[in-house]
Structure 1
Amino acid sequence: MQILRIDSSTTGDQSISRKLTDELLSHFTAKHPDAEVVTRDLVAEPLPHIDPITTSAIRTPPETHEEAVAAAYPEQRAVLDEFLASDVVIVGAPMYNFTIPSQLKAWLDRLGVPGVTFKYSENGPEGLAGGRKVVIASARGGEYSTDQLAENQESLLTTFFGFIGVDDLHFVRVEKAGFGPEAIEQGMNAAKQEIAQL
């Protein structure tokens, strides 16, 4: 069994989403003590935004790769392979300016691969990357409902993971983080109770 932890918050020790991914990792490693844990810190080691070379490396067959694309392929494919090899994926996803951090979007861009994580048919798109649990550690400064027009963080992640076939998707959230320490403590306590049920 493999557990993959992804962090994308830029606020270091002050990060609420990192505190949540800590809690989630502790929970799942306690349940699965023999699991291999893979971590990817998208701030400490950011993935570059995709460009023509990385896009070709991600989306085209290796036998068609020219030299620059072939050189980029192993590193690009490794991001996808560690996701596909994982049974549990923990994603730290704070809300930045009403959506996810750009470094997290760069990671998602390496997971949406035609013919690997999704395909199109006469019946429309079909996700191919099911069979794993994905838990989003969501942190937001305000209080949002999922149907608000300003909510482009959790809705984006729900849409993306649903598109690639993940049907075991959970959100553990702390909202109102901008309201101060008491609100954060209340949110963390509630989140810990939710984590215990996963």
Structure 2
Amino acid sequence: MSAADGSLASSWPVAPVRSPAVEPRRRLRAVETPAPRRRPKLLYGVIAVLGAFLIAGSQMVLSIMTTQTSYELSTLEKTQRALTYDKQILYDEVAGLSSPQYLAANAAALGMVIDESPSYLRLSDGKVLGAEATSNGSTSIDAIGRGVVPNSLVESTPLVTAPDATIEGAPVLAADPSAVSDTPLPVTDGLPTPSTH
């Protein structure tokens, strides 16, 4: 060890060793009187109760509104179904009234005749090509009396041009409530059996 090392060792201060500090023991003592307990303020209780009532009331209002909305939706769906059925009925009526049979029957009621041999008009000079038009105004095709293919949509519909006639040629009869209908009578006791005697 050199002198320089010894001077360095003497320049470092050495801390004295201390013993752990001993804390004085706490002394127990009796509490004189407990502090008076504070009563909760009445305002806080009122606010809590009102808040609970408001939450319950809003839930009831939302439930009633949801139920009312579901009833309205059900009513609107029934109305939409009824309108869809009405629309389909109107489409069927329009299809029947625009059928060629109904149009031909209305034309025949106006006095128009169907030419059995068609003629054509040439536009350049106005000449009629084909068989000549019938001069007496008669035809063998009867649009009112007999339809080639029966059309059940308009067979009982009165003609526009002749309200007393239908496409089948029969006059239109007023609806008689005592008339016999095509529907069978309801069965009241047992199965219906044919009478054999």
TM-score normalised to structure 1 length: 0.22
Larger gyration radius, structure 1 or structure 2: 2
Query: RCO greater where, 1 or 2, for CA within 8 Å and sep 6 or more?
Result: 1
Question: Which of the two has greater strand per residue?
Answer: 1
TM-score normalised to structure 2 length: 0.22
